Structure 1
């Protein structure tokens, strides 16, 4: 029978083929197979933290690997020196390396665009920053991707750092939080040293907490950090894609701590808010953009980060050509985002050109006949050619109420039976689009 050392080496090799080695190596570093028979395998690990992690994340993988090598599947237990005493780790006197230069200077309260939907989150973050978390604690901001959560976290960090330069303010994403704990898991000393870095902060900011739901032991560490901060009345700031109560597999005690202060939701951005953000960013980078250019951009994607990256590309194009940005320039820059599939934006563009109006007017609230008529035609064609729901069409036209979409479709359906001019318009537009 192979030696235990060789068996364990083979076990780790098998696990590394089924998992990302970067997620395996930190946890199996300094582990040994101390005993093995058909009934039980005993694995020695550096500390309790690693024992819990391996049991929660890799127990089945270890048993399967042993079965593949030895032909039996034993129970697994972990052993570590429970009576070892770690030396006292001094608290760092300056900002720990984990948090050096954490804040994006472009993300400030001045560059954030508040509207009716995000105003509560904006006001809560501003109050939290100005009071340094003394009016309420913690602040938990949640909402879907690219609505400005991270912007507000950085804005708070920047404002508090400006108002209180002596404070140690730390920001970290949950993925880096998990990574640092994984790297420190090889020894209890490293765990204690990392923990001391977190609790030495005057303000702790953790982004994208939803990623912790698959890591119970990391949640336990965060709970310990939260208890320390709350006991010492030090501010905590969090963000996630949903509220603590909505997260599956989140430690109940941790969820209670996260929701103990203010919960501020930022809903998905609507058409008008995206337009406002693009207008302001464009004004700062390339000057005012034409309405048809701005409208086209907002129809490309719901991802605000992608739209802002497009503006960065457009800004570079503007510096090179020193000419006003036109729609053809935008389409060239955004070619990778479009496909041969017909879209609402394409229908709007063709209909707008046919009737001599702009695409942005089709999505506006203007009620002049010269705009309402082509708008109804465009909505009708979206339903006929794309087969979209009324809600999806309404979103493409920047509308909240899809009942107006139904009215437009029925209006065209009623008129087209006897109106030869309308029949001709629809035929020409279909030919241009299909």
Structure 2
């Protein structure tokens, strides 16, 4: 929770998450947190998990995305290991489930989750769920018996941060940076990237990475130049196909190669850069990005995004490739 910047848009959700972490199954059970992508819901889930592991070492904490829960369930049927699956999810003390909306149209998995929910709740074990919409607004494929259970405890939302919170997030992000970032640059970024914390932080990384690679100070001129394509891209909706097609064309390969299984170095680099750009320029979650790349696990996407974010500050070639791809997409190529 220490790295989570609190503001009017998320203060109640943060307080609820901290209450659950401090008193598992004694505060709000279940806790249901909803809001658009990139606003910090997953951060709160991990904050709960880390706090419980630190202060209640005897408790078994399980974090899982709805996508991974589905994959585990399917695999348990394929390998006839349903008992192990049930042991993992029905006997934990704290279950943290991310992006529950991905269970829509997955009837068998939803049925299994219904029984998992009941088993945990009956044993007074903590459940925390996130979604991009409230229980009432989940698709009709979620039966009333499941939606009403989601509302048994506390439901809270996370809204886009206001200007003051966006500035506070950027200043917190600047703390580890050795490169000073002027206040007018922070205010420019905070004023132009308004709806998504992920994009807000990505914009700052992009500007500081450029300045670091070129060994120049961060200025307003550099900021405007580097963020032009991000701001112009907001005017149109990028689709997965646009990003995959543009990446493949830029790197001189086919989309099948890009999303395929080859581990050749040029392909891996292109794939990781494309995943990074997906994360920066769309609202896709890690599991959703993984699905676009041949059904890869969300942890593979997390690794790719973190790796490219780091390499952008170290290797000019990577920075230039990311820049070129984002400019192509921002310009409507």
Bin the TM-score by the shorter chain. Answer: 0.5 to 0.7
Classify the secondary structure of the residue corresponding to 1:309. helix
1:228 to 115, 119, 125: 119
Tell me the distance in 1 between the aligned counterparts of 2:119 and 2:214.
Answer: 56
Mapped pair 1:304 → 2:197: yes
Residue number among 158, 176, 184 corresponding to 1:284 in the alignment:
176
Separation in structure 1 between the aligned mates of residue 60 and residue 211 of structure 2, nearest angstrom: 40
Q: Write out aligned runs for 1:24-35 (5 A).
A: none
> Equivalent residue for 1:190?
81
Residue number in structure 2 paired with 1:154: 46
Q: Is the 8 A contact 2:4 2:43 kept in 1?
A: yes
Q: TM-score, normalised by structure 1?
A: 0.50
Spell out the pairing of 1:141-220 with structure 2 (5 A cutoff): 141-187=33-79, 189-220=80-111
SS at match of 2:3: coil
Contact 1:153–1:205 (Cα < 8 Å) also in 2? yes
Residue 286 of structure 1, CA deviation = 4.4
2:17 is the alignment partner of 1:118: no
Superposition map of 1:22-171 within 5 A: 109-171=1-63
SS at match of 1:284: coil
**Residues 8, 161 of structure 2: 8 Å contact kept:** no
Deviates further, 153-162 or 308-317:
308-317
CA deviations on 1:128-151 (whole Å, 9 max, x unpaired) are: 101123122111111112111111
Pairing 1:248–2:122 present = no
Aligned 8 A contact 1:279 1:288 in 2: no
From the superposition, tell whether residues 116 and 339 of structure 1 become closer, same or farther in structure 2 (CA, over 3 Å). Answer: closer
Q: Aligned to 1:274, what secondary structure does the other structure show?
A: helix
Deviation string 1:410-431 (CA, Å, 9 cap, x unpaired) is xxxxxxxxxxxxxxxxxxxxxx
Runs of 4+ in 1 over 6 A off after TM superposition: none
In the TM superposition, residue 287 of structure 1 has moved relative to its aligned partner by 5.7
Between Structure 1 and Structure 2, whose CA radius of gyration is higher? 1
Q: Which has the higher contact order (CA 8 A, sep 6+)?
A: 2
Structure 1 residues 283 and 164, CA, compared in 2 at 3 Å: closer, same or farther? Answer: same
Q: Secondary structure at the match of 2:187?
A: helix
Number of paired residues?
Answer: 233
- Residues in 2 aligned to 1:318 and 1:194: alpha-carbon distance in whole angstroms: 49
Where does residue 218 of structure 2 map in the other structure? 325
Structure 1, residues 165-217: CA drift from partner, whole Å, max 9, x if none?
A: 23221111111111222223325x32232122111311110001111122122
Question: Aligned ranges for residues 391-402 of structure 1 at < 5 Å?
Answer: none
1:248 positional shift = 2.0
Contact conserved, 2:101 with 2:132, CA < 8 A, in 1? yes
Distance 2:46 2:210 in 1: 29
**Could you tell me whether the CA contact under 8 Å between 1:286 and 1:318 is conserved in 2?**
no
Name the CA distance, whole Å, in 2 between partners of 1:186 and 1:283. Answer: 48
Where in structure 1 are there 5+ consecutive unaligned residues? 1-108, 343-434
Give the superposed CA RMSD: 2.3
C-alpha separation between the residues in 2 aligned to 1:261 and 1:115?
23
Q: Distance in 2 between matches of 1:300 and 1:270?
A: 11
- Contact 1:205 1:236 (8 Å CA) reproduced: yes
The CA distance in 2 between the partners of 1:283 and 1:289, in whole Å, is 10
**Cα 1:198/1:116, change in 2 over 3 Å:** same
